[in-house]
Chains A and B, each alone.
Chain A
Amino acid sequence: AQSVSQHNHHVILSEAASLELGCNYSYGGTVNLFWYVQYPGQHLQLLLKYFSGDPLVKGIKGFEAEFIKSKFSFNLRKPSVQWSDTAEYFCAVNSRNSGNTPLVFGKGTRLSVIA
């Protein structure tokens, strides 16, 4: 069964600091990888996704993620965070070319950006 591990439960950063959130998955086949953000009191929004091709994926709001197949990782990065990036971040994975496999989510990482 697939599983997703997010290493950091809560990250606190000052504005302009660089961000890296870890995500590792457990699955032997070909996968699709996603990062979602959930701002306080709001619904999920897709930040970026990886299906194939260039393993460095750029998303919205200056976020990027790098798929490292050998490490089963898909870490999220942003060079300079803003206060408005305060939110919950979820990594998710599903199986490609497998009929009904739903997205499996990590437990999430809460990011708090302070002035």
Chain B
Amino acid sequence: GAVVSQHPSRVICKSGTSVKIECRSLDFQATTMFWYRQFPKQSLMLMATSNEGSKATYEQGVEKDKFLINHASLTLSTLTVTSAHPEDSSFYICSARDPGLFNEQFFGPGTRLTVL
């Protein structure tokens, strides 16, 4: 199956700093990528849909100025958590849609963010 990578896998930062997370589709081109957040012992909640070459579509309640998404190429989307606070600590997971077969989404391994 298609492979999606995320970098970094784990990051610890101080409150007030910004953190960038990269999501790459390694063997296919993804016009659409998705960013999810998972709090401990909870399900994945969709944050935004990232479309190559256009602005991301954010879910209700997700601050677009805090979670900046850039989908600059067909294989790369980035999520930047700006001015991070401890409540932003979470597991961030991206997925990329392979347009080849039934719009299947492939998930990255996730990035664990801890804000001190």
Residue of A nearest to B45 (CB): A105
Q: Which residues of A contact B93 (CB under 8 A)?
A: 43-44
Q: Which residues of A contact B44 (CB under 8 A)?
A: 44, 90, 105
Instruction: Report the contact-size class of chain A (Cβ under 8 Å from the partner).
Output: 20 to 34
Contact of B49 among A46, A90, A102 (CB under 8 A): A102
Given contacts A32-B103, A32-B104, contact A103 B95 (CB under 8 A): yes
Instruction: Report the contact-size class of chain B (Cβ under 8 Å from the partner).
Output: 20 to 34
Q: Decide yes or no whether A58 CB sits under 8 A from chain B.
A: no
Q: How far is the CB of B12 from chain A (nearest CB, A)?
A: 16
A100 to B59, CA, bound (A): 13
Residue of B nearest to A6 (CB): B43
A101 to B32, CA, bound (A): 10
Given contacts A43-B93, A43-B110, A44-B107, contact A100 B102 (CB under 8 A): no
Contact of B43 among A46, A51, A105 (CB under 8 A): A105
Q: Give me the interface of A with B, judged by CB distance under 8 Å.
A: 32, 36, 43-44, 46, 49, 51, 88, 90, 94, 96-108, 110
Q: Give me the interface of B with A, judged by CB distance under 8 Å.
A: 1, 32, 34, 41-46, 49, 51, 57, 93, 95, 101-105, 107-110
